[in-house]
Amino acid sequence: MIKYAADTSQLFEFQDQNDFDRFRDLLSRSGYMDAGLLDSIGINDDLPAIKGNNHPLLLERTASGSPLHTLIRLFLMEMPVPIDILKKTIKPMTVDDWEQAGLIHCRDQEVVAAIKLLPFQNLVVAFDLTSIMQTPLRENYVMGIGSSTITLSNLTIRRHSRRTLDLGAGCGIHAFLAAPHSDRTIAVDINPRAVQLAKFNAKLNNIRNIECLQGDFFRPVSEQKFDLVVSNPPFVISPETRFIYRDGGLEADSVTRKIVRNVPHVLNEGGYCQILCNWAQTKEQDWGERLENWFEGSGCDAWVMRSESLSAATYASTWIKHTEFFDQETEFAQRFRRWMDYYEEHGIQSVGAGLITMRKSTGKASWFRADESPDKMLGPCGESILAGFELRDFLETVKDDKTFLDSRLRHSPDIRLEQQFDPAEQGWKTTSSFITLTKGFAYRGNSDPLIANLLIKCDGKTPLKNLITDMAASLGASPEQLAPTLCGLIRKLIEQGFLLPGHQN
């Protein structure tokens, strides 16, 4: 574990507990919590990148001095606002209340925000301003709603959970999003500043079934069991240990490996763990084979979905530029060289990114799958993850082709077939044929018209072998010849959710 400096900054807490209600009332009355707020001022397209700026369009759109515009300028645009206007805006609360709670700093006749306050999915969450990165508090920086946060929240399994753990909770966002479908949620973070902010946010959003604990990963919850664990850990692979939110302090991708190895101890049977992470990829070994070792003996089925693979150089440049504000190119060059030396030392050629989902299922042989994510994810995808587990469970029961050919399959109601025909001498000629899914994991693939035809005939009642026999007859081939290739292809279509098990005997 890395030793970071103690954070002696302001506690985020109102003296009077009723002030949380007053603050929430103010935010909600002013329209600050409304869906569409960010759209209305034209900054919703790039939520993770909202920073203090004085873009003329934003200034124009927030110039009225209304409570909403004042709050937007203060907490979203990170602009100073006149103290007199703020006093009127926040009555019956006072500027002193806010300053003592750690929300603002007063200077002369102006007030500046000490935290960012962002409306997100019917919640409002406080986290650190990016400007903290230029102060001594930088290592304790509590990150806000980043693109990794949004990705994980979109992939989270949202079925009922008796107890949910948000591991590396930061400002607490995944714990809050899980609260409505959990009896109890626990947010754990090693950074005391993050725990303070998470507690503040829980009170601000009036979330009661939550506990925010400080500690090293599973240590504060080692005696408890969970139906769901979600984690967006400090997964960045680098030689550095400078930021709690980014650097886990272990070699290469060992932070994620450590979570994978330890989480089975706190999972209930049938419970899920979802980790958004990066992993090292080497020249010598296939990425899936390398990761498979992590899960051996875990008693969990594991499904890794890779969304991206970046060369070591692109990865290093991207992450270094996230946090450094270089005046001189030489500084960047030195840091970049150090990162690249580290990758060379560890044989890391590229870095994979994606989601690991584990499900505790002891008492049977566990399965492992490493797949590429679909190019598009449409809407929340937790249901697609659950369906993906069920489909892989089904495939485990029909491993040999003979059993598989007896199964009855149906096409997904979300499947669409797109075909393009070009005029030809004798009527029309098919020039392209695609199948796509319209919800969740929106896989899209080329589909031979013969396969498209087979898919359409999957009615959930006809055994697969009958469909293959019909296809073989139409081609003048024998079913035995076609079956091995078709079985492989149809298994892939099941994995991706185009085909589902129908009524089995």
Residues of this chain that interact with ligand SAM (CB under 6 A) are: 1, 143, 146, 148-149, 152, 168-170, 173-174, 188-191, 194, 216-217, 232-234, 244-245, 248
Q: Shortest approach of ligand SAM to residue 369 CB, angstroms?
A: 24
Using DSSP's 3-state secondary structure scheme, residue 323 falls into helix
Q: Shortest approach of ligand SAM to residue 185 CB, angstroms?
A: 12
* Closest C-alpha to 409, from 459, 364, 447, 351: 459
Q: Shortest approach of ligand SAM to residue 439 CB, angstroms?
A: 24
Judged by beta carbon, residue 19 or residue 166, the one nearer ligand SAM is: 166
Q: Shortest approach of ligand SAM to residue 364 CB, angstroms?
A: 31
Judged by beta carbon, residue 98 or residue 235, the one nearer ligand SAM is: 235
Cα pseudo-dihedral 203, 209, 149, 26, rounded to 10:
-30
Judged by beta carbon, residue 195 or residue 398, the one nearer ligand SAM is: 195
Bridge pairing between strands 110-113 and 116-120: unpaired
Cα pseudo-dihedral 292, 293, 294, 295, rounded to 10:
60
How many other CB atoms sit within 10 Å of the CB of residue 112? 16
Spatial contact of 153 and 377, defined as CB atoms under 8 Å apart: no
Cβ burial of 26 (10 Å; 0-12, 13-18, 19+) is: middle
Tokens of 157: 């399994």
Q: Shortest approach of ligand SAM to residue 126 CB, angstroms?
A: 13
CA distances from 294 to 246, 253, 299, 450 (A): 22, 11, 12, 40
Using DSSP's 3-state secondary structure scheme, residue 61 falls into helix
Judged by beta carbon, residue 198 or residue 483, the one nearer ligand SAM is: 198
Using DSSP's 3-state secondary structure scheme, residue 335 falls into helix
Judged by beta carbon, residue 146 or residue 497, the one nearer ligand SAM is: 146
Q: Shortest approach of ligand SAM to residue 163 CB, angstroms?
A: 18
* Closest C-alpha to 306, from 328, 331, 326, 280: 280
Judged by beta carbon, residue 72 or residue 173, the one nearer ligand SAM is: 173
Q: Shortest approach of ligand SAM to residue 187 CB, angstroms?
A: 8
Spatial contact of 75 and 113, defined as CB atoms under 8 Å apart: yes
Q: Shortest approach of ligand SAM to residue 222 CB, angstroms?
A: 13
Burial 312-336 (b: 16+ CB within 10 A, else e): beebbbebbeebeeeeeeeeeeebe
Judged by beta carbon, residue 80 or residue 233, the one nearer ligand SAM is: 233
Q: Shortest approach of ligand SAM to residue 35 CB, angstroms?
A: 20
Judged by beta carbon, residue 76 or residue 169, the one nearer ligand SAM is: 169
Judged by beta carbon, residue 50 or residue 173, the one nearer ligand SAM is: 173
Rounded Cα distance between 97 and 473, Å, is 81
